[in-house]
Amino acid sequence: MMPNWRGTEGWLARGVAGAVAVPVAILLHELGHYGAYVAFGFSDPVLRYSSASWAGSGEFATLFRAGDMAAAAAIAEPWKVAVAIAGGPTVSYLTAIVCVLAVRRFGPGPLSFVLALGLSAPGQGLGALMVLAVNLFGGGFIGNQDEAWVAAIAGIPSSLTVLPGVACLLLAPCFLVTAIPRGRRIQVVVPIAGGIGLGLFGWLSWLGPLLLP
């Protein structure tokens, strides 16, 4: 049975869906990190509105970047840190994939929320795309982006670890938008995109720090 797009909501509802989807996508990403920290028994894991950390994360990072692998490993096993860092992107990309499959099979979901979440979740791939671009044209990325951190700890090129994120960033919106009938794409996507922009600003500048400082 083909999804019924004729009965989807109006512009305001789609805008609200976009605004709500952004904090949900961000929190799912951070919960990917946080859940791994808890599962591995890291000390004092903390969930914030746009990050997740644990008591020794800063010291581990400092020692690792200084090349003192023995001291870093004494704080936490590097492979566990790598898995926990990879947890956030993995959740984001799996969320996008599930939303794509759901939208193409069943339609945009209540208040177009599933569609909006599917468009929001691949946002992690923007960082992955930046890493790839710097590696290709800028001499090599150095920074705290998730997939680049995983690559550094695992000892593999970051251009490889970012490929899933780049692929998800490019393909998920394509599959989602092409699921919408041609005559309805603008009126479905534009308000969701506007809501995503407002939701991102509101979450990062006001609501997120208020709820999860």
Predicted confidence (pLDDT) per residue in 4-47, tens digit:
776 567 899 999 999 999 999 999 999 999 999 999 999 999 99
Q: Give the chain's domain count.
A: 1
Q: Specify if 60 maps to a domain.
A: yes
* pLDDT more than 70, % of the chain: 97
The reply to whether 3 falls in a domain is no
CB 18 within 8 A of CB 195: yes
> Helical H runs in 40-77?
57-65, 69-75
| Domain annotation covers residue 176 | yes
Question: Residue 141 and residue 131: Cα distance in Å, rounded?
Answer: 6
pLDDT of residue 3: 79
How much is the pTM?
0.95
Q: Is residue 187 part of a domain?
A: yes
Domain membership of residue 5 (yes or no) is no
In a domain? residue 143: yes
pLDDT at 190: 96
User: Are residues 187 and 5 in contact, defined by beta-carbon separation less than 8 angstroms?
Assistant: no
Condensed to tens digits (0 to 9), the pLDDT of residues 159-181 reads 999 999 999 999 999 999 999 99
Range of the domain at 28: 11-211
The CA R_g of the chain, rounded to the nearest whole Å, is 19
Residues 73-83: pLDDT tens digits?
999 999 999 99
Q: Which residue has the higher pLDDT, 194 or 1?
A: 194
Q: Which residues contact 159 (CB under 8 A, 6 or more apart)?
A: 131, 132, 135, 136
- 3-state SS class at 77: coil
Domain membership flag for residue 149: yes
Sort strands 46-47 and 52-53 into parallel, antiparallel or unpaired. antiparallel
The answer to whether residue 191 sits within a structural domain is yes
